[in-house]
Amino acid sequence: MRYLPLQPEDRAAMLAKIGAPDIDALFADVPEVARLDGPIHQLPDHASEMAVERALGAMARKNLTAGDAPFFLGCGAYKHHIPASVDHLIQRGEFLTAYTPYQPEIAQGTLQMLFEFQTQVARLFGTDIANASMYDGSTACGEAIVMARRITKRGRVLMSSGVHPHYVAVAKTMAKFTRDEIDHRDPALTAETDITALIAAIDDDTSCVVVQYPDILGRIDDMSALAEKAQAHKALLIAVVTEPVALGAIKAPGEMGADIVVGEGQSIGVGLNFGGPYVGLFACKEKYVRQMPGRLCGETTDAEGQRGYVLTLSTREQHIRREKATSNICTNSGLCALAFSIHMTLLGEKGLRDLAALNHAKAVKAAERLSEVPGVELVNDTFFNEFTLKLPSDAREAVRHLADREILAGVSLGRLFPHASELSNGIVVAVTEVATDADVEQLADGLASVTQNQREEVPA
Amino acid sequence: MARYFTEEHEWIDVEGESATVGITDYAQEQLGDIVFVEVPEAGTVVEKGGEVAVVESVKAASDVYSPVSGEVTEGNSALEDEPALVNSSPEEEGWFYRLTMSDSSELEGLMNEAAYKDYVDSL
Amino acid sequence: MSMNREGRPTRPQDAEATSETFTGNRALMLEEPLLFEIGDATLTGVDLEAAPQAESRLGGLERNRPIGLAGLSEPETVRHYTRLSRQNYAIDLGLFPLGSCTMKHNPRLNEKVARMPGFADVHPLQPVDTVRGALEVINELAFWLIDLTGMDGVAMSPKAGAHGELCGILCIRAALEARGDAREVILVPESAHGTNPATAAFAGYRVENIPANADGRVDLEALKERLGKGGEGDCDVAGVMITNPNTCGLFERDMKAISDAVHEAGGFVYCDGANFNAIVGRVRPGDLGVDAMHINLHKTFSTPHGGGGPGSGPVVLSEALCPYGPIPFTAKTKDGVVHLVEEENAAEFDHNDSFGRMVAFHGQMGMFTRALAYMMSHGADGLKQVAEDAVLNANYVLRSLEDVLDAPFGKSGPCMHEALFSDKGLADGFSTLDIAKALIDEGYHPMTMYFPLVVHGAMLVEPTETESKAALDQFIGALRSVAARAKAGDKSLHAAPVHAPRRRLDETAAARKPVLVWREPEVAEAAE
């Protein structure tokens, strides 16, 4: 077996040193009932590298790859071009095969990178500080709600209808155990967000208000007034960003007064990967640092006075506080944070702004083109690189028909809100720099013919 | 003024109905370098034995329990900027909070200095 | 004969050495400034097409103020991160004996497979018919995990071990609530990973300790007594969380009896699967009465740790807990087709009692492909060999060191995949920390230190199966040398490490005045 260096004569010599007659003697503590007499039956024996590669390659080929089709899916995961050097650098063994930097003297590479990552995230979000990453955007959002509870000691959560429904579902799962009460409705297919209603709903029992920016339908709204109202009632404003590239074009939530900003960092440096691994971003005002979950990297000096970095404030964490920890999080998403940080370094402020401008312009042109399709209506007034269309018929059907023609058209709202029939004609379309004019034309043509067929099949 | 000690290594100075609470020299030595202290705000009502403050070193976080019941009149705000005071002057400048006691009979079960010294020696 | 009088000297010359250099570098040990000190807002390492003309739809929310992000050109970027990488220790460089972390070799085939476009470039919300291969991977991996553990089902979506623990505890909670049984207590041994009590508390349970016996294992009689408290039919214990093999590196001999006792009292058994590497392919937790166990794919199944994640923590479940597992999950129907079960079709697949969703999308696909490649490479025979070699290596380390380092449970029999030592017998003023830092100078990552908490100055050594005997012998030699110095009171140990990129760092200063982001020097000064 190619991954096991011990040879039969090594094993014999080692057993002799140990003073055990055979390997079974080392498993003597296992109760009789649980001892297996040989390899587990239903599983195959070992395989060569070539055989494994072939078997998995065959599975991979059964999928329609985003790069092989006109591609317009978003809703929390976005296809952007990732520079080649990102993947090269994260595969350096010193990054890839290192552990969590608990021995800082020999982990300065990871630690300095995390310090830079924290700085990049804080600046992107317009907040004071950020942590060294979370599992993904949805769990970061859930942890932010729990953190707000710790700070405000209140349990009423107002979740905007514009928050990604999976994020809402994760928050509701957490709430079953924290006993938070989550106030949430499905979104309406309108140009206006529910920000006015949220402002009205904040009271002295409110722990936090959670808004997504841009929201699940792609809409953008100013959250300054919301922040003011929340502050007046000592509630916290949590902003969720699922498309961080947007912040190269629009104001940061921190600039508008958000107390905690969380997000999904996949869009910068990390591939689609069918949903994971991704990287959760978590940032907040400095005064809340000790209530923050997750790992933090801080600057210090060594015994010779040289600048260096360590994991710090770890008394918040599970391995010290145990049942009093701020969260049970242990592993974070270090390698994806590295990919995010490298891509962000390659972009720089100029590159991020240019990339955001390119995304926005392409999306605006695509929205204009697609709303020319008969029966198709653009829902949004405002958007960044993602917008919602209202089709004349069921959007999930349309998406399936278009997939048969190898066009990945977008995310139907029926997929995200299966119980909400009033949303079933909605489709969210994301247009990033990877979409060409020809792709948009194919989508427009496809939508025209699919909706026409559907209208003929099912008279309105 | 009288000073009493708890088995949880808090000290309490009593003068009439008011009292000052901190952690002992032994406690700070066990904890090591203190990096953060969270003290209660004035007006907090505390119960004897209830969690009232948090003290953190690099490697450990510990709760501080109130030796007596009462209402906090002042938390030591100096500890916010300089938690190291707990290491350098645990039983004077590094005090945690002051309170008005609601039941001075609660002092009865506590140790005096000599008893606490014996207790620490026995650990 | 022609004489060449030019050219370089070819023999070393006598000279006094100095360690001072103009740059602060020491040959291949290179200092690297912060990104924000070398980059700026105008530099970029990407070329983008110009944006077409289009009317703004940003609703007047343009970001006009500077963001403060630093950029670098591509060559500078590559150099920045390459130089940083060289300040890290890694498995690729040498033995990484971090107990309880299973730092084994990361096969590169796994990396290649995970990057196949059919896996890496697929959106989680694509129509199901366009992602059949991805679902097949999930289903195939699920099949392996269920079979290797002897359990009935598996929740694939948890993102890491601790997240898996939460999943398992939430399943237990849902199962108890479904039968109207509001129990409040989770029992956890003192030797447990800190995540166990943190998880139980997060899920709203009160945590109580289970005492250990002198052998470093759960005290079965004490556990039974605690379960019996409150009398017949009135047990308040929702479940126990037990690590097996435990964090002292020992197999819980009474595991089956523990499970039986807990089940009899109406509770559930959660097993922390962090140490599954010791028994994979040889022992099935399902045969020991376990109801839920997370599996760290980044430990046992070799997906890379990446400097602290991403991990992946699927949770295998017993028949009693399966109905409560989180969505989404994958199920294979009789016709052999793999289905993705989500909120909308849970009823179709009889999965209405799920406690909900733990993550957006479907979990760590990129880890699934890597783990599956690893499992298929090893096969059933190879995985059994993995456990055997891991246990053999650990026992070899234990028996090669127990004459110089105190092994608190050395007398009680063999260890499993990790060997535990204590600081007993070191000279006055010498600690586990000194030994750990001296190992750094010897070119090793230290072992896990000061864990488990039940042993004073604990040192937990997990060599894993991917180390050769020669590699172990060199490590043993290094640790023997360091231990001998610590016993002899060699004060130079307190200065270690002296050959690493940094000396010991001041963690107290870092925690007292946390500096968590870089600020321009003038801004930082103003904040002082």
Res. C192 pLDDT band, cuts 50 70 90: confident
Q: For C430-442, what is each residue's pLDDT tens digit?
A: 999 999 999 999 9
Q: For B42-56, what is each residue's pLDDT tens digit?
A: 999 999 999 999 898
Q: Are C303 and C106 in contact (CB under 8 A)?
A: yes
Q: Is 70 exceeded by the pLDDT of residue A220? A: yes
Q: Is 90 exceeded by the pLDDT of residue B85? A: yes
Q: Is 90 exceeded by the pLDDT of residue C4? A: no
CB-nearest to C507 from B36, B56, B58 is B58
Q: For A68-100, what is each residue's pLDDT tens digit?
A: 999 999 999 999 999 999 999 999 999 999 999
B residues 75-94 closer than 8 Å to C (CB): 83-84
Judging contacts by C-beta atoms under 8 Å, the chain B residues touching residue C450 are 59
User: Do A107 and C89 make contact, defined as CB atoms within 8 angstroms?
Assistant: yes
Q: For A400-424, what is each residue's pLDDT tens digit?
A: 999 999 999 999 999 999 999 999 9
Which pair of tokens denotes residue B109?
A: 């079960």
Nearest CA to CA, how far is A282 from chain C (Å)? Answer: 13
Q: For B87-100, what is each residue's pLDDT tens digit?
A: 999 999 999 999 99
The number of CA neighbours under 13 Å toward the Cβ of A230 is 30
Domain C382-507 has CATH 3.40.50.970: no
List, in order, residues 6 or more apart from A48 with CB less than 8 Å away. Answer: none
What CATH topology corresponds to C112-372?
Aspartate Aminotransferase; domain 2 (3.40.640)
Percentage of chain C lying above the pLDDT 70 cut: 97
pLDDT of residue A460: 43
Give the C-alpha separation, C378 to C383, whole Å. 6
Q: Is 90 exceeded by the pLDDT of residue C229? A: no
Among A26-35, A56-65, B58-67, C161-170, the range scoring the smallest mean pLDDT is B58-67
Q: Is 90 exceeded by the pLDDT of residue C18? A: no
Among A129-138, A315-324, C90-99, the range scoring the smallest mean pLDDT is A315-324
User: Do B61 and A315 make contact, defined as CB atoms within 8 angstroms?
Assistant: yes
Nearest CA to CA, how far is C198 from chain B (Å)? Answer: 14
User: Do C59 and A220 make contact, defined as CB atoms within 8 angstroms?
Assistant: yes
Percentage of chain A lying above the pLDDT 70 cut: 95
Q: Is 50 exceeded by the pLDDT of residue C504? A: yes
Nearest CA to CA, how far is B35 from chain C (Å)? Answer: 5
pLDDT of residue C195: 85
Q: For A121-146, what is each residue's pLDDT tens digit?
A: 999 999 999 999 999 999 999 999 99
pLDDT of residue C193: 84
Nearest CA to CA, how far is A201 from chain C (Å)? Answer: 24
Place of tokens 């070329």: C47
Instruction: DSSP for A68-127, please give it.
Output: GS-B---SS-------HHHHHHHTSHHHHT---S-SGGGBHHHHHHHHHHHHHHHHHHT-
What percent helix, strand, coil does chain B show, rounded to 5? 25, 40, 35
pLDDT of residue C528: 58
Minimal-distance CA residue of chain B relative to C506: B58
B71 reaches C (C-beta below 8 A): no
Res. C445 pLDDT band, cuts 50 70 90: very high
List, in order, residues 6 or more apart from C282 with CB less than 8 Å away. Answer: A27, A30, A35, A36, C384, C387, C388
Q: What residue spans define the domains of chain A?
A: 8-57, 67-79+348-457, 84-343
Element (H, E) at A395: helix A395-404
Q: Is 60 exceeded by the pLDDT of residue A312? A: yes
pLDDT of residue A280: 97
Sign of CA pseudo-dihedral A170, A175, A178, A182: positive
Mean pLDDT of C48-65: 97
Among A102-106, A454-458, C321-325, C404-408, the range scoring the smallest mean pLDDT is A454-458
Mean pLDDT of A55-61: 98
Res. A321 pLDDT band, cuts 50 70 90: low
* Pick from C305, C247, C186: nearest CA to C460: C247
Q: Is 50 exceeded by the pLDDT of residue C9? A: yes
User: Do C511 and B36 make contact, defined as CB atoms within 8 angstroms?
Assistant: yes
What CATH topology corresponds to B2-122?
OB fold (Dihydrolipoamide Acetyltransferase, E2P) (2.40.50)
* Pick from C294, C277, C321, C288: nearest CA to C199: C294
Question: Residue A50 class from Cβ within 10 Å (0-12 exposed, 13-18 middle, 19+ buried)?
Answer: exposed
Mean pLDDT of A364-386: 97
pLDDT of residue B86: 95
Which pair of tokens denotes residue C32?
A: 């690297």
Determine which of B34, B38, B56, B64 to mutate to test the interface with A (most A C-beta atoms within 10 Å).
Answer: B56
B36 reaches C (C-beta below 8 A): yes
* Pick from A347, B118, B3: nearest CA to C35: A347
User: Do B36 and C508 make contact, defined as CB atoms within 8 angstroms?
Assistant: no
Judging contacts by C-beta atoms under 8 Å, the chain A residues touching residue C363 are 275-276
List, in order, residues 6 or more apart from C200 with CB less than 8 Å away. Answer: A323, C169, C186, C188, C207, C241
* Pick from C267, C213, C280, C239: nearest CA to C465: C280
Q: Are A18 and C472 in contact (CB under 8 A)?
A: no
C-alpha gyration radius of chain A? 25
| Bridge partners, B99 (sequence order) | B19, B72
Minimal-distance CA residue of chain A relative to C114: A273
pLDDT of residue A67: 96
pLDDT of residue B114: 93
Query: C339 versus C189: which is more confidently predicted?
Result: C189
Among A41-45, A140-144, B83-87, the range scoring the smallest mean pLDDT is A41-45
pLDDT of residue C135: 92
Judging contacts by C-beta atoms under 8 Å, the chain C residues touching residue A297 are 516
Which chains share 3+ C-beta pairs under 8 angstroms with C?
A, B
Res. A454 pLDDT band, cuts 50 70 90: low
CB-nearest to A320 from B35, B59, B63 is B59
* Pick from C61, A147, C149, A155: nearest CA to C141: C149
Query: Interface of chain A against chain B, CB under 8 Å?
Result: 290, 314-316, 320-321, 324
Q: For A246-268, what is each residue's pLDDT tens digit?
A: 999 999 999 999 999 999 999 99
Q: What is the mean pLDDT of chain B?
A: 92
For residues C490, C492, C498, C500, the Cα torsion angle rounded to the nearest 10 degrees is 30
pLDDT of residue C328: 84
Q: For B10-54, what is each residue's pLDDT tens digit?
A: 999 999 999 999 999 999 998 889 999 989 999 999 999 999 998
Give the C-alpha separation, A78 to A73, whole Å. 7
CB-nearest to A4 from C115, C255, C385 is C385
Domain covering A67-79+348-457: architecture: Alpha-Beta Complex (3.90)
Mean pLDDT of A212-239: 98
Nearest CA to CA, how far is A320 from chain B (Å)? Answer: 6
Q: Are B76 and B68 in contact (CB under 8 A)?
A: no
Nearest CA to CA, how far is B93 from chain C (Å)? Answer: 18
Judging contacts by C-beta atoms under 8 Å, the chain B residues touching residue C507 are 58
A18 reaches C (C-beta below 8 A): yes
Give the C-alpha separation, C362 to C161, whole Å. 16
Nearest CA to CA, how far is C186 from chain B (Å)? Answer: 22
Which pair of tokens denotes residue B87?
A: 């290491």
Which pair of tokens denotes residue C24?
A: 């602060």
Place of tokens 């090893």: C378
Element (H, E) at C316: strand C315-317
Query: B2 versus A129: which is more confidently predicted?
Result: A129
| Bridge partners, C217 (sequence order) | none
A361 reaches C (C-beta below 8 A): yes
Determine which of B34, B39, B58, B63 to mutate to test the interface with A (most A C-beta atoms within 10 Å).
Answer: B58
Judging contacts by C-beta atoms under 8 Å, the chain A residues touching residue C159 are 135-136, 139, 276-277, 331
Sign of CA pseudo-dihedral A201, A207, A213, A216: negative
Task: Count Cβ–Cβ pairs < 8 Å, chain A vs chain C.
Answer: 725
User: Do C89 and A106 make contact, defined as CB atoms within 8 angstroms?
Assistant: yes
Which pair of tokens denotes residue A23?
A: 């390997």
Res. A317 pLDDT band, cuts 50 70 90: low
- CA C225 remoteness from chain centre: 34
* Pick from C213, C255, C263, C212: nearest CA to C237: C263
Among A50-59, A119-128, A279-288, B29-38, the range scoring the smallest mean pLDDT is B29-38
pLDDT of residue A272: 98
Question: Which DSSP letter does residue A180 get?
Answer: -
List, in order, residues 6 or more apart from A45 with CB less than 8 Å away. Answer: A39, C379, C380, C381, C382
Which chains share 3+ C-beta pairs under 8 angstroms with A?
B, C
What percent helix, strand, coil does chain A show, rounded to 5? 45, 15, 40
CA-based max dimension of chain A: 83
Judging contacts by C-beta atoms under 8 Å, the chain A residues touching residue C359 are 135-136, 138-139, 166, 170, 276
Q: What is the mean pLDDT of chain C?
A: 93
pLDDT of residue A322: 57
Q: Is 50 exceeded by the pLDDT of residue C380? A: yes
Mean pLDDT of B74-79: 94
The reported pTM is 0.95
Mean pLDDT of C15-28: 87
Mean pLDDT of C54-78: 97
Minimal-distance CA residue of chain C relative to B35: C512
Nearest CA to CA, how far is B90 from chain A (Å)? Answer: 21
Q: Are C228 and C265 in contact (CB under 8 A)?
A: yes
Domain covering A84-343: architecture: 3-Layer(aba) Sandwich (3.40)
Question: Residue A339 class from Cβ within 10 Å (0-12 exposed, 13-18 middle, 19+ buried)?
Answer: buried
